[in-house]
């Protein structure tokens, strides 16, 4: 009896093969994809698309207000031979290298210092952060005054002290200008490095230092064989960011020198802005920006493979 009822019911309802869509809806492996969709859409819309558009623009002769025609590598061929562009590449590499190295050295020193037992430790740590808190444009304007050819406080003090007779031409002389903007960048970038490294230092277990001290390790040995190796992952991250920020710096230069004197402080970012937005040659400006990508990738690779691929970080021995 029951069999008959069941049978008749089954007969009435035709057996449906699940469609591909039905499977996708419930498939466990596909579930992950569904969860990823919002994030992926966000990344594609706001990161991949503008980047792709920038690269595409660099292959066109687009001007502001006019979509360009595809011109292949013409922009790059032109730039390869453009002395201003080559100068800006040199400036950028010099700026990034010098500023990053010094920022790292000073930042690490400050971090080690702040990690010691100091009076007013909390206040000191807050004070160190100040250059980082001040909006970049404001600090750039302050430096612009400090380095002013006529009203520089440095020139004024040295003159009053009788050490020099004429003002120092900070931003008008080619090399002076380069060192001046590098100095401003270092001043601004040190707190980021120092505070992040300090955070890293505080994760190092004190018992390691105690054990080392009992074994008779010197201060240098404790730094070299405990602090430094345990700090490398943080160093890798901090320096990657620091290099990226420095390489793409714009505001400091734009406010202080506009790339002058005679383009001696033009970075690739400022030159790209000048050519693309101010002068209207979008294609050429985009080519300059795109030319930054290989440098940035190289910087990331160096820190990634050079500093972060330690076996112990992946659970192995570090021998």
Q: Which residues bind another protein (CB under 8 A)?
A: 63-66, 78, 81-84, 147-151, 166-167, 169-174, 177, 257-263, 274-275, 277-281
Q: State both tokens at 184.
A: 């401003």
- In whole angstroms, the minimum distance from the beta carbon of 261 to another protein comes to 4
- Nearest distance from C-beta of residue 171 to another protein, angstroms: 3
Shortest CB 103 distance to another protein, Å? 24
Cβ nearer to another protein, comparing 180 with 227:
180
Least distance (Å) between residue 262 CB and another protein? 4
Residue with Cβ nearer another protein (10 or 278): 278
Identify which of residues 238 and 255 has a Cβ nearer to another protein in the complex.
255
User: Would you call the peptide bond into 163 cis, given omega within 30 degrees of 0 as the criterion?
Assistant: no
Q: Which residues 6+ apart lie within 8 Å of 152 measured at CB?
A: 145, 146, 167, 168, 170
Question: Using CA of residue 270, residue 271, residue 274, residue 277, what is the dihedral sign?
Answer: negative
Least Å from the CB of residue 63 to another protein: 7
219, 224, 282, 319 from 60: Cα distances, Å: 59, 52, 9, 52
CA angle 134, 295, 135 (to 5 degrees): 5
Smallest distance, another protein to C-beta of residue 277, A: 5
If the CB atoms of residues 173 and 222 are measured against another protein, the closer one turns out to be 173
Nearer to another protein, 209 or 250 (CB): 250
Tokens of 256: 């202080």
- DSSP 8-class letter at 130: H
The CA distance from 118 to 127, in Å, is 14
Q: Which residue, 112 or 154, is less far from another protein as judged by CB?
A: 154
């Amino acid at each position: 009896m029951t069999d008959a009822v069941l049978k008749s019911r089954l007969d009435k309802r035709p057996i449906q093969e699940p469609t591909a869509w039905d499977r996708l809806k419930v498939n466990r492996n596909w579930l992950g994809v569904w969860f990823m969709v919002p994030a992926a859409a966000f990344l594609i819309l706001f990161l991949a698309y503008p980047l792709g558009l920038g690269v595409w623009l660099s292959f066109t002769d687009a001007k502001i207000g006019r979509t360009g025609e595809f011109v292949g590598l013409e922009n790059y061929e032109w730039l390869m031979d453009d002395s201003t562009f080559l100068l800006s590449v040199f400036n950028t590499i010099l700026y990034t290298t010098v500023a990053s190295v010094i920022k790292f050295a000073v930042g690490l020193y400050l971090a080690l210092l702040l990690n010691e037992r100091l009076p007013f430790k909390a206040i000191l740590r807050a004070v160190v952060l100040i250059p980082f808190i001040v909006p970049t444009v404001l600090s750039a304007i302050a430096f612009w005054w400090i380095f002013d050819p006529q009203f520089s406080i440095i020139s004024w003090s040295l003159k009053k002290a009788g050490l020099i007779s004429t003002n120092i031409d900070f931003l008008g002389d080619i090399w002076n200008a380069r060192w001046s903007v590098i100095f401003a960048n270092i001043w601004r970038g040190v707190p980021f490095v120092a505070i992040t490294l300090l955070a890293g230092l505080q994760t190092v277990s004190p018992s390691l230092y105690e054990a080392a001290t009992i074994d008779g390790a010197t201060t240098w040995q404790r730094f070299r064989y405990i602090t430094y190796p345990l700090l490398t992952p943080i160093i890798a991250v901090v320096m990657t960011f620091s290099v990226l920020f420095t390489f793409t710096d714009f505001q400091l230069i734009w406010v202080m020198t506009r790339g002058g004197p005679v383009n001696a402080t033009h970075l690739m970012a400022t030159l790209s802005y000048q050519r693309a937005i101010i002068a209207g040659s979008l294609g050429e400006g985009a080519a300059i920006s795109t030319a930054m990508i290989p440098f940035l990738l190289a910087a990331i690779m160096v820190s990634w493979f050079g500093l972060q691929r330690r076996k112990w970080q992946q659970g192995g021995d570090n021998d």
